[in-house]
């Protein structure tokens, strides 16, 4: 219990120090563009009501979920295929490296031409950026499957779906989750960027509208809410990862103790 308590204290110590520093450093600010934190918090309670959450935050979260889950399905599926077959990897690797080098925000005008300006465009933008860390980490995870285990599975006739389910995916899952973790932060960034183009709701749209109307405290409150959203999603992801990779962490712990 003491160890858990210490970890909890360490987890909240730095945010508390940062918030306190922000509070006291901005307390006497008269700059319209950097208002005091107390003004931002006051605007937060006034702006982000239940109706505002339903109108702006919920659509953003749904778009993020749609793009992220699409990228996860495509990235893991393609990553397993590319990582499993050397000829496929040699064929598509130059194309993947080229596409990965193109920044997703640059593709927004192009995607708008094909997907329109609705939610579909925003989901495609999010997916186009999230897919790369998932895909590349999956490829590396599949390639790193232990050769002894692979030979053992082959000798016992474990092939096809059974091999994928019981050998490839479990062995590659730590790398896959590493890619999913990277993709989550990318997805939040692209969610905001996509909502700054031809949008009528969403967190990115709201922040831009506040900025254009010179509602600076409201703008800062939107940025603060975006940070809180990212923190909550990160905590939820860590809980899912801890449960899914409990076997892996137990194995690592036993190896260290031995």
CB 175 within 8 A of CB 139: no
**What is the C-alpha to C-alpha distance for residues 145 and 238, in angstroms, rounded to an integer?**
24
Please tell me the predicted confidence (pLDDT) of residue 104.
Answer: 79
Predicted pLDDT of residue 205: 92
Would you say the C-alpha torsion 200, 202, 205, 207 has a positive or negative sign?
positive
Q: What is the CATH number of domain 54-253?
A: 1.10.3720.10
Q: In this predicted structure, what is the pLDDT of residue 257?
A: 66
Give which of 211, 213, 138 is closest to 178, Cα–Cα: 138
- Output the pLDDT for position 136: 92
Q: Could you tell me if 99 and 136 are in contact, meaning their C-beta atoms sit under 8 angstroms apart? A: no
| Assigned token pair, 214 | 């010179």
Which of helix, strand or coil describes residue 201?
A: coil
Q: Is the pLDDT of residue 219 over 80?
A: yes
User: What digits encode the pLDDT tens for the residues 99-109?
Assistant: 888 887 787 88
Cα–Cα dist 136/165, whole Å: 19
**Number of residues assigned to the chain:** 258
pLDDT in tens, 187-217: 999 999 999 877 888 999 999 999 999 999 9
Residues near 213 by beta carbon (within 8 Å), at least 6 away in sequence: none
User: 123: which 2 tokens?
Assistant: 């989901």
Contact yes or no for 132/100 (Cβ under 8 A): yes
pLDDT score recorded for residue 108: 80
**In terms of pTM, does the model score above 0.95?**
no
């Amino acid at each position: 219990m003491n160890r858990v308590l210490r970890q909890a204290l360490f987890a909240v110590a730095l945010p508390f120090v940062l918030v306190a520093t922000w509070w006291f450093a901005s307390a006497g600010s008269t700059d319209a563009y950097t208002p005091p934190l107390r003004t931002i918090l006051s605007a937060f309670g006034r702006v982000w009501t239940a109706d505002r959450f339903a109108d702006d935050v919920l659509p953003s979260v749904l778009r993020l979920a749609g793009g992220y889950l699409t990228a996860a399905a495509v990235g893991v599926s393609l990553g397993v295929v590319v990582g499993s077959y050397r000829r496929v990897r040699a064929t598509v690797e130059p194309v993947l490296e080229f596409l990965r080098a193109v920044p997703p925000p640059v593709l927004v005008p192009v995607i708008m031409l094909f997907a329109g300006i609705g939610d579909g465009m925003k989901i495609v933008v999010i997916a186009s950026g999230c897919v790369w860390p998932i895909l590349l980490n999956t490829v590396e995870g599949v390639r790193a499957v232990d050769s002894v285990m692979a030979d053992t599975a082959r000798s016992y006739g474990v092939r096809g779906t059974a091999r994928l389910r019981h050998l490839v995916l479990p062995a590659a899952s730590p790398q896959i989750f590493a890619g999913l973790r990277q993709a989550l932060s990318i997805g939040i960034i692209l969610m905001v960027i996509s909502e700054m183009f031809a949008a009528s709701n969403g967190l990115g749209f709201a922040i831009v509208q506040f900025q254009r109307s010179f509602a600076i405290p409201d703008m800062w409150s939107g940025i603060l809410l975006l940070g809180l959203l990212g923190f909550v999603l990160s905590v939820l992801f860590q809980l899912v990862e801890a449960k899914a990779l409990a076997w892996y962490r137990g194995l690592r712990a036993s190896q260290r103790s031995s």
